[in-house]
Structure formats: structure tokens, C-alpha cells
Chains A and B, each alone.
Chain A
Amino acid sequence: MSGLGTMTLAFIRMTLRNRMALFWMLAFPAIFIVLFGFILGNDEGPDFEVGVVGAEQSPVSQGILEQMRQTASFTITLGTETDERQALEEGDRDAVLVFRQADSGRLSAQILYDQTDFQRSQVAMLAIQQFLERANAEMANAQPAIDITVEGVQSNALRFIDFLTPGILGMAIMQNGVIGMSMGLVGYRERGILRRIKATPFPLWKFLVAHVLSQLGIAVLQAIIFIGLAMTLFDLEVAGDVLSLLVMVISGCLAFISLGFIVSGMTRNVETASAVANIATFPMMFLSGVFFPVDTAPSWMQPLTKIMPLTYLVEALREIIIRGQSILTTWPNLLVMVATAVVGLAIGLRFFRWEPRAV
């Protein structure tokens, strides 16, 4: 076998034998999926207690209420705003939807949610928002707003596990890319392994390419394991095609390897590399829609979520896995991944050193 192939396989073998790497790249995300899958229910989807206030004010709001009633995920209670607020505070509701009609006749909707049970109410909010958005879209088309079909809603009815699995996959790809690349490369450089390779006729750039190839292999393995786990345990159905999924997994992995490459150029030892890589990935873990939808984040955070590459990877993975979209519709996200990879590589090359800093 060629040097490149042998080196790539050796890297994959080393990763699979490294307990720390195995835990963070495979076990940790898998535990998330299994844990949340069981905690937040699976078969029936989450059953949300939703209070609705003021739905009788307009045909539009009545239509939305009707539609929500027909969805298995919601248990609807009607009441006054005071009563429903109290019920929410007492933990009897996951969220409360309040309709108000202004003097101008314009209808507004407000979602109140339980901040102490954030995870659950986030998902409830997400589901409610889908109804509202759909209603809005209908209104913009000047169609009778009540005319909303039930089928469309059911296909969009989201279980938390469906929402979570692509998010976790995106997170794991990010960690494999950033942490795997930076800690691997810095370790090889500082421990003198790069210099030992340099003493052989095998070119160092091929050594790097082999490392990247091994990480792509690990990313594909992550996708197979996490999606397989959710399919087996929680009946996740992958709606999109495998090829689109593969393209997003690989482009995403390359984007984050590129960021890891920057980190490896800026740091001198594995400890610092690990710290910087974690600082870089940690905010993305929570602001890129891995665990809850980005649009539920506070408005001041919205611009932040928009500059995080993980936002676009997770969005595309979700579109493909849950909504059955293909790369033909998620190509802007693919473009973001490719751009991140290219820009990251360009910046990384400026900082990169083959040698440990001398003396």
C-alpha cells in the first residue's frame, strides 16, 4: 500500500485506540443522544401542555388553535391570560400562546415559556412557532388564513430526538475537526514526531493530508454511529439522501479542520492547543442550534449565531436528515463550509510552523 494510505490507516487506528479521543468524539455525543432520547420521550413525540389565550379574537387565531388541537403533540387548554400565566408559573404548562388584536386589526402572538424547564419549553416554542410562521406565510399570500392543512403540520411535527441528532452530529464533527486537528498537530510538532517524519523521504504535506483523511474517516464514522443509534433506539427516519448528507459531513469536517489548523499555528503546546480549541468550540456548541433552535436565542445573540460556522452545518444537516432536503437546497450552507475551509487554511498557513519554537 502507498505511504499515504498506510499513514491514513495508522492515524485512524491510533484515534480508535486513544481512549480520550474515543470518549470525546464518539462516546460523549452518543451519550447525549441516548440520554436526551430517553428523557424527552421517543415514540409519541413530546406531549406539550400549551395554554392558549384570546384565540377567539380573529379567524386566523382560531384557525391556528384548531390546527394545534389536531396535533397529537399538544394538549391545549383555553383560559384567560392571568390564569394561564399562573398555570405556567406553577409548571402546569410548557408554554402559553397569547393572541392580541390591535386596534388596527393586526393580530399579534406572544409565546410565554417556562424558563426553569428551558430545554422542554424551547422545543414547545419551536413547534408553536412553526404554526405561527405557517399562518404568516399564508397571510402574506393573501389567502384565507384559516385554510391550513393538517397534513403539512404533521410532517413538521418535530420530536426532540429528531431535532437533536443532527445537532449532536454537527457538534461532534466540529470537535473532531478543531480539537482533533489542533491537538494532534501540535502534539506531533512539539514531541518531535514531525521532525522524525521529516527525516524520512515521506513528504510532510502528505503526512498532513493523511491526518485530514483520517479525520474525514472519523467524521463519517460519527455520522454512521449517531444516526444509526437514533434510528435503532428512537426510530429516527432519515428523510434526505445519503449523498447530500455525506457532502455536508465532509465539507463541515474540512471547515473545522481548517479552524483547528489555525489553532495549531497559534499554540506551542498541547495544553494550550486544547484550551484554545475548547474556547473556540464551546460557544458554538450553545449558540449554533445544537440543543435548541437559534431563533429562540436572545436577540442580541442573533448576530453571534449568524457568524458561527456550526450554525450553518447544523442547519443543513437538519434540513437533510429531518426535512428531506438535498444539497440542491442546502448549497448556501455548503458554500459557507467551503469558504470557512479555504479562509481557515489561508489564515492557518500564515501562522503554521513545522518546527517547535527554537530555544
Chain B
Amino acid sequence: MQPVAARQSETEPTAQPIIRVRGLVKRYGAVTAVDGVDLAVNSGEVFGILGPNGAGKTTTIEMIEGLRPPDGGSIEVAGVDVVRHPERIKHRIGVQLQKTALFEELTVRELLGLFATLYLTDARRSRIDGLLDRVSLTEKATARVSTLSGGQLQRLSLAIALVNDPDIVFLDEPTTGLDPAARRNLWDIIGSLKAEKRTVVLTTHYMEEAEALCDRVAIMDYGRVLACDAPRRLIAQLGPAATIWATLDGPALDEAALRSLPGVTSAQFVDGEVELQTEDPETALTALLQRVRQAGGQVERLTVTSATLEDVFLHYTGRRLRE
């Protein structure tokens, strides 16, 4: 049944959720960090929570993991009421926290063995070394944790998240602060988790990460879920939207003139470069070229990018994710 459910998730988001969150609320004093979040994660899918820092992603994921008690709402993971019985899901879920702080004086192998014991699972050397191999840390088995690089630490904490062979894996910003190569490496490992039919819930503020890894994405801002769907469907909802970047040479055109061009929804100068938002790239591009030529100038450099999750975020929040 599981593979079927996983396949259905592409088209049928409500099928057989393994995680169901309703009306989740968390307050810190006067601040409402999570403000009525509803989520349903299907078995076997990679589910992303995308949002800027401070959107409430970590608070949400840690409440689902049973690490923080919510102030309101319900959480059900694999049939367990997490709000009431957080201890009952601990052996079934794998957890990677945002801050990767571990016992620095232990060696990589000792640390993984220790966590295997704490999870009451098989802590034999062969199994530990198998996990290290999986996250490409075999060479570092006898190195102290304090000597690991950022990417190695993230892979080690991922290995710890897998030490109890969990059905559901939670990864909180698994690639934040990593260089592109280290990020790719982690993406491959996360991809292999999906191949093993594990359910993966991850948070990220990298839209390309969400696009590359996730079957479905929830876009979060100010403690609320603004949209939740497959990345390409979220993008498709925006229509054939595009951004045009152009460097103009010759007589200056002001923003108002550019904004009045047919097909252009917004225009602004960024570092001397024109940035046009459009719902109809073809019309806008033609109009721009015409207008510039009429004014006696010419277009030096031209870039047209189609919509990404970044634009989806912009659409829902009026802000850029990267700001």
C-alpha cells in the first residue's frame, strides 16, 4: 500500500497522511511564533517547509517532533497523539536539529555508537560503520567531533537521525551554511531516503533546495502557512510570469515610463539595471525593446528568468525570501 500512497501524493495531497497537524499555535510571551498551522504530510514523500528566518519553521517542526509543547492545536504522527504522548514517537522518528551541537570530545564512531545505545538499537561496530559509510564519514571514524567541518558535522547529525532506522526523518535546515558541493552531497543522501520509502520533512530557506528535493512545499511566513502544494504547481499558479533584467545604454528612461509599457506589472532600477516584472514576457519584451529604440538608446544586456518558488514567495508575501 505504501508505494501506492507515495505515488498518489503527487496528484492527491490528502491521501493517507502519516503526519497531520491542525491549528498549531505557539506563543513566546507576546510573540506568536506559530499561528494556526495546518499540515498534512503523506507517507513516503519529501515535504518541505519553506520560509525566511523567523517564519516559525523550526518551532513548527520541533513541536511535531514532540520537543516543544504547543499552546494550541493537535499533532498526530504515525497514529500517535504527539501533544499528549511525545515519548511514544521518539523511537520511530529520526531528528536532525537546526543547531548541530554534539559532544565534541568523542570520536565520530563513539558518538554514533552512543546515540545507538540511547535509542536502544543495535550499536554494534559493523552497523555503526555502515551508517558512517552511508554519509561518507568512514575516513573520519576515529576523528574527534570537534575537528569536523560544517558539512561533515551535518552529515554526522544526519547519520544520528538515521541511527534508529526511522520511518519518518525530520531535517531542520540540513544545508544551511554549507558550500555548494557539500549541499549537493546532502541532497543525494536525502534523495536516497526517499528511495527507501522513508517520509522526510525538512525546513529550508533555500528555494532551489525546496524545488530540487521536495514533492510538496508549505510556504511559511510570520507563523502561518500561506500555500502548500507541489513546487511546480505553486509556480504554475502564477501563470507564465517572468522577470526581465536589462542594462540600458543611451537616454535614461524613468521608472514610470517603463511601468506603463504593455505587459509590465512593476518596474524598478536596481544598481543601474532595470528590473521588470511581467505576466506576459513576450509582450513586455517587445514593448521594452521598441521603447528603448524609440528613445534612441539600445539594450546592452538582457536576461529573462521564468518564475521560481522565489516568485511564489514574493507573490504571497510581497517580499523576497532572500532579503
Q: Give the B-binding residues of A (Cβ under 8 A).
A: 1, 3, 6-7, 10, 13-14, 17-18, 191-193, 195-202, 358-359
Contacts and interface: CB of A to CB of B under 8 A. Distances in A.
B114 A7 contact: yes
A18 B101 contact: no
A326 to B, nearest CB: 38
Given A10-B114, A195-B62, 16 more contacts: A6-B114, A10-B106, A13-B106, A14-B105, A191-B99, A191-B101, A192-B101, A196-B101, A196-B102, A199-B67, A199-B90, A200-B90, A201-B90, A202-B118, A202-B119, A359-B29
B53 interface: no
Contact of A193 (B65, B66, B101, B144): B101
A201 B119 contact: yes
Interface in B164-201: none
18 contacts: A1-B117, A3-B120, A6-B114, A6-B117, A7-B118, A10-B114, A14-B106, A18-B105, A191-B99, A191-B101, A192-B99, A197-B118, A199-B90, A199-B95, A200-B119, A201-B120, A202-B118, A359-B33
Interface in B192-237: none
Contacts of A3: 117-118, 120
B245 interface: no
Contacts of B144: 17
- Most chain A C-beta atoms within 10 Å of own C-beta, residue among B29, B102, B105, B120: B105
Contacts of B29: 359
Nearest to B119: A200
A13 B105 contact: yes
B97 interface: yes
- Most chain B C-beta atoms within 10 Å of own C-beta, residue among A191, A196, A198: A196
A17 B104 CA distance: 10
A6 B106 CA distance: 13
B282 interface: no
Contacts of B91: 201
A282 to B, nearest CB: 27
Interface of B: 28-29, 31, 33, 62, 65-67, 87, 90-91, 93, 95, 97-99, 101-103, 105-106, 110, 114-115, 117-120, 144, 160
A201 B105 contact: no
- Most chain A C-beta atoms within 10 Å of own C-beta, residue among B29, B101, B160: B101
Nearest to B144: A17
Contact of A359 (B31, B65, B105, B106): B31
B194 to A, nearest CB: 22
Contact of A199 (B31, B33, B65, B103): B65
A358 B28 contact: yes
Contacts of A7: 114, 117-118
Contacts of B99: 191-192
Nearest to A2: B117
A191 B91 CA distance: 23
A359 B34 CA distance: 13
Nearest to A187: B101
A245 to B, nearest CB: 30
A193 B95 CA distance: 12
A10 B110 contact: yes
Nearest to B92: A201
B167 to A, nearest CB: 15
A359 B33 CA distance: 10
A202 to B, nearest CB: 4
A191 B100 CA distance: 8
B118 A201 contact: yes
A151 to B, nearest CB: 53
A195 B29 CA distance: 21
A16 to B, nearest CB: 8
A312 B103 CA distance: 35
A195 B90 contact: no
A11 to B, nearest CB: 9
B206 to A, nearest CB: 21
A359 B31 CA distance: 9
Contacts of A201: 87, 90-91, 118-120
Given A199-B65, A199-B95, A10 B103 contact: yes
Contacts of B101: 191-193, 196
Contacts of A199: 65-67, 90, 93, 95, 97
Contacts of B120: 3, 201
B169 to A, nearest CB: 12
Contacts of B118: 3, 6-7, 197, 200-202
Given A7-B114, A10-B103, A359 B28 contact: yes
B113 to A, nearest CB: 8
Contacts of A198: 67
Contacts of B33: 359
A195 B114 contact: no
Contacts of B102: 193, 196
B222 to A, nearest CB: 14
B118 to A, nearest CB: 4
A193 B99 CA distance: 9
Contacts of B103: 10, 14, 193
A191 B104 CA distance: 11
Nearest to B66: A199
Contacts of B114: 6-7, 10
Contacts of B31: 359
A10 B105 CA distance: 9
Contacts of B90: 199-201
A359 B99 CA distance: 15
Contacts of B98: 192
Nearest to A15: B105
Contacts of A191: 99, 101
A272 to B, nearest CB: 18
A312 to B, nearest CB: 33
A97 to B, nearest CB: 54
A196 B161 CA distance: 10
Contacts of A6: 114, 117-118
Contacts of A193: 101-103
